[in-house]
Amino acid sequence: MVSSLHTVPVKDIPLEITPLLYHTSPLTLSDPLGSQIVPPHFYVDVTSVIETKKKMLEYHISQIDLMRHMHKMDDFFGFVLEGNRNYGKLAGVQYAEVYWQHLGGGFQKEPQVQNDLAEFLVTKI
């Protein structure tokens, strides 16, 4: 009998290294139980692209019904943008997004996204 633990379920070649992994805010800076979560690792100033973000949100029609049904939110996209305004206040800009880099469990420690977005990172917190 061959153990299923020794079979390969996919034909893809494993990655040479563990990829970078980032988390963004779950709509608010609180965990599922309502407790405040750890401060973000970094803020990204999205003020210059907020109009583009608004247009992009318009394409997520399925989210409107989902959030209305699951979370009783009549204005999900307004809620998202209000979150960006609130994060912006914390970061000292008009609109911001927040991120945490997953640093445990063998994940890469290289701040690649922070380097790539350096011109948009908010350092005054």
In DSSP terms, which residues pair with 98 in a beta bridge? 43
Q: Spell out the residues 6+ positions from residue 5 whose beta carbon is closer than 8 angstroms to its own.
A: none
Has residue 55 got a pLDDT over 70?
Answer: yes
Has residue 96 got a pLDDT over 50?
Answer: yes
Judge whether 99 and 37 are in contact, CB under 8 Å: no
Q: What is the pLDDT of residue 51?
A: 95
Q: What is the pLDDT of residue 7?
A: 67
Has residue 49 got a pLDDT over 80?
Answer: yes
**Confidence label for 6 from pLDDT (cuts 50, 70 and 90):** low
Each domain of the chain, given as residue ranges in start order, spans: 42-125
The closest of 116, 55, 124 to 96, measured between CA atoms, is 124
pTM of the entire predicted model: 0.76
Decide the pairing of beta strands 96-101 and 42-45. Answer: antiparallel
Q: What is the pLDDT of residue 125?
A: 43
CA distance 44 to 24: 11
| 111 three-class SS | coil
- Provide the mean pLDDT of the chain: 85
Residue 97 belongs to what H/E stretch? strand 96-101
Has residue 73 got a pLDDT over 60?
Answer: yes
